[in-house]
Structure 1
Amino acid sequence: MSDVSHERVELPVPGTDATLGVIRHGHYGRPVLVFPSEAGRAEDFAGNGMVDAVRSLVDAGRVSFFCVDSADRWTWSDNAQTTEERAKGHQLYTRWLEESVVPWVHEQLGGSAPLITTGVSMGAYHAVHFTLTHAHLAPLAIGMSGNYDVKTWNGHGEHGDATYFANPMDYVSGMSGDHLDWVRANASILLVVGQGPFETHPTRSLQSTIDFAKVLSDKGIPHEIDVWGHDSAHDWPWWQRQLAHHLPRFC
């Protein structure tokens, strides 16, 4: 069966006149919410060969990808803003996911279904952060080559509550009590990273992934870490291979 690729759909950003786009690939199967790399668009996942890397799963009806635009250009990539201002802007992106994207996905599916989130580079941060904060909607995240500490992203200014609650390294470290028990029971995180070009500098992805896996371990949150070799670069050909290696067991 051939891939069902929907036209780009524009969904409203709550409280604004703006829209951001979503594109679906696949006709059936486990729904995967896909975040692009920094400042990317919904088109990037297919455009960089990621759908073709798991074409057999798509054609067999085992997986459907729901690829979203980023809002990084007016949040995390806007270096004119302080880190706290960028984190506050990110809250609006989260509202878009909650109020526009997830309902649209459920409409497409004909009902609610547990999502997988995935993304590469900054998209890995988005995927992991969304699962940790919305495990009732997306209990599994696959983060590839991510940096999970927003305070290392060329930021400036003082860090307040918005930064704390947007920063997995901080808020997971601070989890306790009933909330931690809920996350342990509902969320699962797969962290994948290479040791090759650009995974160390300038992205800090390798060290951040190792550090964040330790935080998850310390908190007893279900997770896996898969560190690839020194030839595994911060680039699409390797992310294609990583997705093709891991996704089949989840769908």
Structure 2
Amino acid sequence: MSDVDGQRVDLPVPGRDVSLGVIRHGHFGRPVLVFPSEGGRAEDFAAHGMTDAVRDLLDQGRVSFFCVDSADQHTWSDNSLTTEERAHGHQVYTRWLEESVLPWIHQQLGGRQEIATLGVSMGAYHAVHFALTHADVAPLAMGLSGNYDVTSWHGWGERGEATYFANPTDYVAGMHGGHLDWIRSRVGVLLVVGQGAFETHPTGALPSSRAFAALLGSKGIPHQLDLWGEDVAHDWPWWQRQLAHHLPRFC
């Protein structure tokens, strides 16, 4: 049993004199790496009722959540930077996940295990992107109300290689050959989105989720698109219900 359940642990960012936090909820069960909404912190998942929404799964030892801080304020949310500069900043965040977070999770679990990823809003992008680029360790992604095209986020300036490889809409379209075959064999993606307030404007989550599901389908990558009703908004109460609806079949 972990002695850090519910407690914040700060882990160093490689190459930077800063750290970002992770919080574990649950002692056993399927490990899930949880990304917050835009600019959010590891505390947000519990604070917004997401752990309570699946309290039975936690209490039964069916799932453990590993919630991380975002670094969006220094990357995708910094409109003073070009899209390419933001993508380079995102590479630093990815290194933190690879070199600090994953080893810590595996230490907590007593060894290397496959994990699932989960995120809401911009966190859905992070969850899906991480699984598609780290399918060896994260073969399942659950994205709630996500926008999967980083070039639609008030971007500007010339875009290059960093943007391409940070943008699922770009690199999935470019997948082919043996790598695509491997992704098909490894990854499953769940996209959930409502059709109500803020899912189209300003977030672009509804059109992006539809378009990205179609792209995954065109590549033969296993996925599910679950469209909720016109009353379903881009907000935590609905994400609680969506999580409670879908998570039990994955753990």
Q: CA deviation at 1:58?
A: 0.2
1-side partners of 2:166 and 2:188: how far apart? 18
Q: CA deviation at 1:130?
A: 0.2
SS at match of 2:231: coil
**How do 1:148-163 residues align onto structure 2 when only pairs under 5 Å count?**
148-163=148-163
Q: Which amino acid aligns with 1:185?
A: S
**How do 1:52-91 residues align onto structure 2 when only pairs under 5 Å count?**
52-91=52-91
Q: CA deviation at 1:7?
A: 1.4
Q: CA deviation at 1:6?
A: 3.3
**How do 1:123-134 residues align onto structure 2 when only pairs under 5 Å count?**
123-134=123-134
Aligned twin of 1:225: 225
Q: CA deviation at 1:112?
A: 1.3
1-side partners of 2:187 and 2:135: how far apart? 5
Counterparts in 2 of 1:247 and 1:4: CA distance versus 1, 3 Å: farther
2-side partners of 1:41 and 1:160: how far apart? 29
**Do 1:4 and 1:26's aligned partners in 2 also have CA atoms closer than 8 Å?**
no
Q: Which amino acid aligns with 2:29?
A: G
Q: CA deviation at 1:5?
A: 2.7
Aligned twin of 1:5: 5
2-side partners of 1:181 and 1:13: how far apart? 33
Aligned twin of 2:185: 185
Gaps of 5+ in 1: none
**Aligned-pair identity (%):** 73
RMSD: 1.2
Q: How many residues align?
A: 250
Aligned twin of 1:17: 17
Aligned twin of 2:209: 209
1-side partners of 2:86 and 2:54: how far apart? 34
Gaps of 5+ in 2: none
- Superposed CA deviations along residues 35-78 of structure 1, whole A, max 9, x for unmatched, are 00000000000000000000000000000000000010100011
- Superposed CA deviations along residues 114-147 of structure 1, whole A, max 9, x for unmatched, are 1110000000000000000001111000000000
Q: CA deviation at 1:4?
A: 7.2
The TM-score, its normalising length taken from structure 1, stands at: 0.98
